[in-house]
């Protein structure tokens, strides 16, 4: 059974505790549970992680790229949080590892502050999703089976 990686970046551990009008009321544990259900429906093994450290995300993308090269990965759903808008390192990691990545944002970043409109991830992502709330994770996992 192939692994679907779900990587979450900085501050996403705070989901459900503040800014529910932007990110909803569900916690990261709730998101992991919905991802587990989606993976079970689609015959995928879930590997769900969160970190507040950019380098750790870079290493995880490399790991997913290696798993993909060995035929063990369906791809990565990546919510890189604010690193989306700042991280050339993540751009290079995705490009360099060849990892298939769906960029995901809970909120519609294009309807928010202008500094959220640019993404270093989008040019190297297979697909980009924003504004579906946490349901977007389930939609992205389903989409991974179609690539």
User: Does 76 sit near ligand CA2 (CB under 6 A)?
Assistant: no
Q: DSSP letter string over 31-97?
A: HHHHHHHHHHHHT-EEEEEE-S-HHHHHHHHHHHHHHHHTT-EEEEEEE-GGGGGT-HHHHHHHHHH
The separation between CA 70 and the C-alpha centre of its own chain, rounded to angstroms, equals 21
- Annotated catalytic, 62? no
User: What is the torsional sign of CA 25, 30, 35, 37?
Assistant: negative
User: Which region among 14-22, 45-53, 60-68, 70-78 touches ligand CA2 (by CB under 6 A)?
Assistant: 14-22
User: Does 25 sit near ligand CA2 (CB under 6 A)?
Assistant: no
| CA distance linking residue 10 with residue 56, whole number of Å | 11
User: Does 57 sit near ligand CA2 (CB under 6 A)?
Assistant: no
The residue within the footprint of ligand CA2, chosen from 2, 3, 11, 122 (CB under 6 A), is 11
User: Which region among 54-62, 80-88, 89-97, 139-147 touches ligand CA2 (by CB under 6 A)?
Assistant: 80-88
Q: Which residues contact ligand CA2 by CB under 6 A?
A: 11-12, 14-15, 17-19, 23, 79, 81-82, 84, 105-107, 109, 116
């Amino acid at each position: 059974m192939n692994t679907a990686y779900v990587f979450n970046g900085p501050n996403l551990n705070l989901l459900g505790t503040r800014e529910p009008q932007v990110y909803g009321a569900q916690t990261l544990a709730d998101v992991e549970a919905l991802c587990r259900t989606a993976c079970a429906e689609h015959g995928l093994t879930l590997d769900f992680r969160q970190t507040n450290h950019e380098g750790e995300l870079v290493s995880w993308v490399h790991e997913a790229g290696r798993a993909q090269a060995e035929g063990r990965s369906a791809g990565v759903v990546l919510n890189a949080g604010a690193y989306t808008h700042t991280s050339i390192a993540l751009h290079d990691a995705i490009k360099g590892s060849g990892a298939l990545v769906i960029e995901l944002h809970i909120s519609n970043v294009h309807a928010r502050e202008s500094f959220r409109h640019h993404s270093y991830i989008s040019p190297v992502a297979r697909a980009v999703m924003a504004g579906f709330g946490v349901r977007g994770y389930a939609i992205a996992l389903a989409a991974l089976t179609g690539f």
